[in-house]
Structures are given as structure tokens and as C-alpha cells.
Amino acid sequence: MNARTSSALAALFGGLLGAALLGLLEAAFHLATQGVPDLLAPVYAVVLYGLIGLGFGLAAAVGVAALNPRSGADDDARLGLAHAIGTVVAVSPMLGFALHYLGNKVVFAEQGVPLWGKLGIVVVLGLFAAFELLVGARLAAGPLKLLARPVGALGAWGVLVVSTGALALLPVGDDPRGTMAHHKPVPAELADAPDVLILTVDTLRADHLGTYGGPEGVSPVLDGIAADGIVFEHASAHASWTRSSFASLWTSRIPSGHKADRKASRLPEELVLLSEVLQARGVTTANLANNINVTQTFGFDQGYDTFVYEAPAYHFGATESVFSLTFYKVVHKLREKLGGHKAIESFYQPADVVLADARAFIEANAESRWMLGVHLMEPHDPYFEHPYLDGSGTAITNGVGFARAEVERPSLDQAEYLKRVYTDEIRHMDRLLAPFVDWLKSTGRYDRTLIVITADHGEEFGEHGGFWHGTTLYEEQTHVPLIVKLPAGDLAGRRVPWQARLIDVAPTLTAALGVPPDPTWAGRDLLPDVRRDVADETAKRDAVENARETVAALAEQADAGALDGDQLRELMEARRLLEAQPPQGCDAYGNARDRVAVSEQDFEGNVLQAVRLFGYHAIRANAGNPRGLRELELYDVEADPDEARDLLTSDEPACGRAPAERARELLEKLDTEREKAAKGAVEAQEVQAGAGETCNLCALGYLSGPQCDDC
């Protein structure tokens, strides 16, 4: 091998080894400072950074070869210098980019690296280059001279790959998928209690299900479960974004009480979740979380025997630890920019994958009493097109997905398209649910399981001038489905006209299992009022039948004047009962069983509170909010369910009351409920999400701005 070739190869492999070591150092830095979710980052860095360094090393090799080096007595020194040059050429730009990226991200809070910081990076690079050319070259010419030869350099890189690869195989913490089988015996006091399945469909508007008056044929499976259960026609979520709303579902507290209502909020450990109450009573608890907002990172794994984050699939087989690497982010972003085709698994796990895990858990714990939370994401953006549904093709998806992260403010003329693909997402999810429900029925589990179907919030399609969710508290955002199917067809087919809330779910389930609710919970068991409705209807039906019999028996005698005073009064009461009309107009507003439905949130600068009661919906917003909402709005949701007319902008009375007076009455209720919740509130906690978690939040539209630039 001549001097030119050997020098060029020394420079080439200097780039390979130098960059690989740089990647290994960065991986170690992230694992030490951010925790150790897994150990794949070191081997990934050695390979990825090494290959990038090989590219830079090729440029160095061309330059070294152009110098036309000659063989001689100083061959070791020549190769050592060439190796050092390759290392400097490869590592300097990569190190400079990494330092600038990390400085902006960690030190300067994404406000940009100031001039003095950039000058500092230049100084560091200069010191590195001087050290490598003066010291590194001598080492590569002396004790480490084997590294300046192809066999030695490739061998050293191979050792790094094998050793870090072996490290990646070591277990870290608990099994991230969770252990499915727990072999808990059924507690004696729960022998007659049902198993519990809570199916939460993210971003599902109530009015898009057939059972709530939605398009025909969209949701036959969910509608079938509704026909077997109780449909709460007016159920309210307590926020219009995932983390805060799920926190209310699991803790039976409104946001003022659970404090997990901001983007950095974490569910405090002091809160008592439904899972913790049931687990303490011997129930085997599990949750299949399918949105980064409700995972271990944000404290939602409390009280579960099995907790699985159905994490999205990162590009190129990466993991959470890999996502911290600077140059993985570069590759990831290039893939997103150039790829075009979107994969569902890049954002969340499809319903069939999650439901397969649900089936595995149920089968593994067949001899136990269990509670399982299942989280499906299909209606959440990106809204994927499904050619097999509209007949335009046979593919499940064509890779086209409309995402908030890419189009924060769609135009109103896009609303119909977005509604259509959103509706198709529901239709697709419902079809994926069908085999799971068929399996429950074929195994006899369906009849003996208490099933709850609900959602965390809805979605807006231009109804009030905007799109997506999280920035308003109108009905399209907070009116969610709530279906409760009891075992053995109990109360099947009931439709409940009064107002319910997500915080009522937890106490309803504990009561159904005969378990006392936690005293900190604010919700109320729904079933006693449903059963009282049944009893009242039965009593009324019997009274009407008795009235008919009375009229039939006494009418002829009354015409003949043959009734005494008591009989005449009895006949008149019977006729009044038969002639009575259902309440009309304002007399029909409200219901004695209505719960005060409070929604509130602090999201992207929109600080909102709302209360729904007496058939009215009052919404309060902070002055100067980014969404441009009025500071106070009042809607008659009985007469105006689309909330198209703000009563406070007109002279229209609110059932005999001035709109301002009605609004004040509702705001007093709102503030009373918030004050009660705040008295028992826990201290708010915050958490710093990891790099991959942050980018998943960005992909789902929960974060935006500079922190998403490198995703």
C-alpha cells in the first residue's frame, strides 16, 4: 500500500473512530442527566455517529491524499498525523453543532445562543483541534499506532459496537410492557362483583356516535354496547385536553382539585386514583395508556399492577434514550421532511394493537377480579385517510394524515374535509373494536363485565371559528359520550336526560363493586338516580293505569249524577292525571338530578372556566386570551345546543331572568365548586419530559414553538 493510500485510510478511519467516541460521550451525558429509560443510545451513537464521521473522514482523506505524502522512516508519524486530521475534520463540526444545540436547549432555554456563547464554542473547538493535532497525533504514532491502520481502526470500532450492543441488552428497571399475569385470587367480598373495562376514546365528540344522533353507520359496535347499557345524554368533561381531563376521570376531582392542568403538570402522588382504591381491595388493575400525556412521565401509573405505555414507534428502531442524541434528531427530522408518507405507529399505537394487549391481560387474569383501562387514539389528529372505507382503494391507510402540528390554523373551507376524515377515523376505530367485542361475547365475558365507554374531550371544526381542542370549553369540546353497560343486561336501553360528569365515573364503579369511594372524591354514584328514575317511571305508569281504570269505572256514573263527593274528586284527579302535559318551555329546563358540571383549564395562555347547569352554559375567559374569546359568554343549551347565540350580546331573557342575572347565578355555582375543590387540592407538581416524549407531544399538537423545531 503506497503512502498516499495509507494516509487517506488513516484520515478516513480517524473520522470514524473520533465521531463514534463523540457519540458515546453524548449518550453517556444524556443517560447520566436524564435518567436511563433504556440502554440503546450508546450502541446507536457508536454506529450512527461513526457513519456520519466516516463521511467527514472521506473529505479529510481526499485532502490528505492531495498532499501527496511520501513513505520513509517517519511512516508512523505520517499516519498518526493523518489520523488526527481525520478526527479533527469529523469531530469539529459535529461537536460544534451538538454544543450549540445543547446550549440552546439546556443552558439558554431555547432563547438562542448569544454571541459570547458562540465564541465559547469556537474556543472549545480550537482547543480540541490543537490537542488532537499535537497530542492525539503522537498517540496515534506511538502507543496507539494500531488505530491509524485500517484493521486496528475497524477492530476498535467493532469492539465499541459489540460492547455497547451487549450493554443495550441489559434489563433496565421494570419491564416497560408490564407483567400481564398476576395470579391474584378473587377476594371473598368481591366474589359477586363484576370485572370492569373502561374504554376511553381520545378526542371523541358525543354527537359523532349514532347513539347520540351522529351519522348512521359510523359506530355500530359502540352503538350496540350503548343499546345494552345506560346512555347518559349530557355528560361533561372537565377540560378539553387530555392530561387534565384524564386526571379528573381517574381522581374524581375537577382541575382545581387535582392541579394536573398545565403542560408541565404531573399528577401528584398524594391524589387517590380509582386504580389505587381498587388495587387496595384486591382487584388486579391495569391500564393501556396510548397518549404520552397520561403515562408514567406524568404520574398516571399509580395503583396499577400492569401499566403499559403503548408508545409510538420511532424511526429506524430508535427508543426514548436514542431520541436524546443530537444527530438522531437530525436524521429523524430529515425523515419527516422527505418521507411524505405518515405511519399511524409514529404517533400512537392503532386500536387493534392496544386491544390485543387488552385481550392478553384479560386472559392472563381470568381467575382474578380485574379492572382494565383501554385508551384508543384513532379520532385524535393526525386524521388519517382510510381508502378501504370510501371505496377509493383497499389500503387501511394511504399515509395521508392531517395534523395540528403542521396546520395549526386550518381555513374554514377545510372544515368539511376535516370532519369527514375525522368521522372516518371513528368508523375505522369502531371496525377494529368489533373483533374484540365479539371475543368478549363468545367467551361469556361480555355479560359479566361492567363496561364504561367515554372520551376525554371532543373536537372543534370551525363551529366557533377554530379547530382542534384545548383552547375553548364549548359543547363540541366538553360534551362527551358516557355509556355504562352493567352485567347481565341490568338497566339495558336506559337513556338518562339529566347531566352527568366524568368525575362521577370512579364513585359509580366503586359502588358497583361494593367498595367505598375515597373521601377526597368529588363525584357521585350515578346508578341510584338512574334506579330512582326507573322507580318513578314505574310508579307513574301504575298511576296512569289506575287513573284509566278509575275513569272507565266512574265516568258513566258521573254522567248519570250517581257519584258521591269522594268519588267525584277521585274521578277529577284521575282525569287531571291523564290530561297532564309534559313540561314545556322554561318549565322543562334543568333536572333535579343534574350535577353541577365544571370545566376549567390553563392551556396555551387561554385561562378558562365554565359551568353547565339549569340548561345553561356560562363560559369565562381571561382578558386578552390568545384565542380571542369574550370574557363572559352565556348559552341556552336546551334551545341552542350549537351555542350559536350568546345571550349576553342580546336582550333575550333567560327563562324570565335577565341574561346577566342568570350568568351571575351560574358563576356563583362555578366559584363555589372551584373553592370547594381548591380547599382539598394537592400541591401542583411539574416534570421535565424527555426528548422523545417532548417530540411526541409536538407530533400530537400539545406543544409547539422552538422546543419542537428539532423534532
Instruction: Please tell me the distance from the alpha carbon of residue 171 to that of residue 132, in angstroms, as a whole number.
Output: 37
Confidence of residue 332 (pLDDT cuts 50, 70, 90): confident
Least confident span in 390-394, 613-617, 624-628: 390-394
Q: Count other C-beta atoms under 10 Å from residue 172's C-beta.
A: 15
Predicted local distance difference test score (pLDDT) of residue 368: 97
* Percent of the chain surpassing pLDDT 70: 93
DSSP label at residue 263: T
Angle at 63 between CA 59 and CA 69, to 5 degrees: 140
The string of pLDDT tens digits covering residues 367-385 is 999 999 999 999 999 999 9
Q: Is the pLDDT of residue 556 over 80?
A: no
**What 3-state class would DSSP assign to 625?**
coil
Confidence of residue 339 (pLDDT cuts 50, 70, 90): low
Q: Is the pLDDT of residue 316 over 80?
A: yes
DSSP label at residue 213: T
**What 3-state class would DSSP assign to 444?**
coil
Backbone angles phi, psi at 202, to 5 degrees: -65, 135
**What 3-state class would DSSP assign to 194?**
coil
Predicted local distance difference test score (pLDDT) of residue 708: 66
Distances (CA, A) of 432 to 59, 350, 443: 52, 9, 18
The string of pLDDT tens digits covering residues 87-116 is 999 999 999 998 988 787 667 755 678 999
Instruction: Please tell me the distance from the alpha carbon of residue 202 to that of residue 463, in angstroms, as a whole number.
Output: 20
Least confident span in 60-69, 200-209, 227-236: 60-69
Does the bond joining 435 to the residue before it have cis omega, within 30 degrees of 0? Answer: no
Q: Count other C-beta atoms under 10 Å from residue 559's C-beta.
A: 9
> Strand pairing of 265-266 and 284-289?
unpaired
Predicted local distance difference test score (pLDDT) of residue 630: 97
List 608's β-bridge partners, or say none.
601, 621
More confident residue, 177 or 533: 533
Average pLDDT in the 532-551 region? 92
Q: Is the pLDDT of residue 1 over 70?
A: no
- Pair 91, 22: CB distance under 8 Å: yes
Q: Is the pLDDT of residue 311 over 90?
A: no
- Pair 46, 16: CB distance under 8 Å: no
Confidence of residue 697 (pLDDT cuts 50, 70, 90): low
**What 3-state class would DSSP assign to 636?**
strand
Confidence of residue 176 (pLDDT cuts 50, 70, 90): low
Residue whose C-alpha is closest to residue 479's, from 509, 500, 453: 500
Taken in order of first residue, the domains within the chain and their CATH numbers are 3-168 (no CATH), 188-310+348-385+417-524 (3.40.720.10), 533-588 (no CATH), 605-680 (3.30.1120)
Which residue matches cell numbers 391481560? 361
Confidence of residue 429 (pLDDT cuts 50, 70, 90): very high
- Pair 44, 81: CB distance under 8 Å: no
Confidence of residue 239 (pLDDT cuts 50, 70, 90): very high
Alpha helices in 103-211 (DSSP H): 115-131, 137-141, 150-168
Q: Is the pLDDT of residue 682 over 60?
A: no
Confidence of residue 705 (pLDDT cuts 50, 70, 90): low
Confidence of residue 360 (pLDDT cuts 50, 70, 90): very high
Confidence of residue 689 (pLDDT cuts 50, 70, 90): low
Instruction: Please tell me the distance from the alpha carbon of residue 551 to that of residue 573, in angstroms, as a whole number.
Output: 10
The string of pLDDT tens digits covering residues 17-36 is 999 999 999 999 988 877 77
Average pLDDT in the 525-531 region? 97
Average pLDDT in the 444-458 region? 98
Contacts of 660 (CB under 8 A, 6+ apart): 648
